Amino acid sequence: MNSEARVAVVYHSVTGTTARLAEAALSGASRVDGIEAFSVCLEGADMEAGRYRNSGVLEALSRADAIIFGSPTFMGSVSAQFKAFADATSEFWFQRRWAGKFAAGFTVGNNPSGDQLSTIQYLSVFANQHGMLWVGIDLPGGFDAAGRNRMGAQSGLIAHAPAGVIEGVDLETARYLGSRVASVARQYHLGASRLGCADVAI
């Protein structure tokens, strides 16, 4: 067995705010010992007639132990580009190739609400369709000493970026989410039989 667990961050970004969150999540995951972390930006060049066509990316994600999904919130859900990617995973859904992997998600919007929670819920449903195990944020919104998870979402990271400006505390929350997912994946990778119930909080 490979001694390193693999964590992937796959995202779509338009203005760059989601990309910055993805970079922070990747940084957080990379800080965990025994983790090989990589990111994938969903590019327009990989879309053909509205379908995502990069099989190499899908195969790389299939070799990951955990996948963190990211998309801006457009019209109350993920972007069309992210949805095209999600639809392209249907063959893997049928084969259950992502079942048992860990998953988490993040999103960003210009408004304090903007229905970003529905994007997180979509990402969670998408992960559960694949039989993945969802990892939320265990930082208590409004009670973290460092001010992380300031939007108070426990199911995933919601960032607020008015005028396209990401707050530093949201980037710190993304780093925390990345390290949390990586830590869970690393522990599981080392062998679930060696863990007690208190060792992994999902």
Amino acid at 72: P
Average pLDDT over residues 186-197: 63
Instruction: Kindly indicate the confidence band of residue 2, based on its pLDDT and cuts at 50, 70 and 90.
Output: low
Q: Tokens for 64?
A: 């990951």
Q: At what angle do helices 168-190 and 17-30 cross, to 10 degrees?
A: 40
Q: Which amino acid is at 88?
A: A
In a domain, 73, yes or no: yes
pLDDT value for 193: 35
Q: Which domain holds residue 33?
A: 5-194
Length of the chain: 202
| Rounded distance between C-alpha atoms, residue 154 and residue 113, angstroms | 15
Position 200 in a domain? no
- Residue 19 parent element (H or E): helix 17-30
Specify if 140 maps to a domain: yes
- Number of domains, the chain: 1
The reported pTM is: 0.91
Q: Percent of the chain having pLDDT more than 90?
A: 73
Nearest to 24 by CA among 183, 170, 180: 170
Is 57 inside a domain boundary?
yes
> Is residue 199 assigned to a domain?
no
Residue 120 has pLDDT above 50, yes or no: yes
Report if residue 201 sits inside a domain. Answer: no
Is residue 21 in some structural domain? Answer: yes
What does the pLDDT look like over 15-32, one tens digit per residue? 999 999 999 999 999 999
pLDDT of residue 102: 97
pLDDT above 70: residue 151: yes
Pick from 46, 128, 117: nearest CA to 88 = 46
Q: Is 187 exposed, middle or buried (0-12, 13-18, 19+ CB in 10 A)?
A: middle
80 lies in some domain: yes
Residue 171: which CATH number? 3.40.50.360
**What is the model's pLDDT at position 197?**
42
pLDDT, tens digit, for every residue of 25-68? 999 999 999 999 999 999 888 888 888 998 999 999 999 999 99
Local confidence band at 149 (pLDDT 50, 70, 90 cut-offs): very high
Q: Read off the tokens for 201.
A: 């909080």
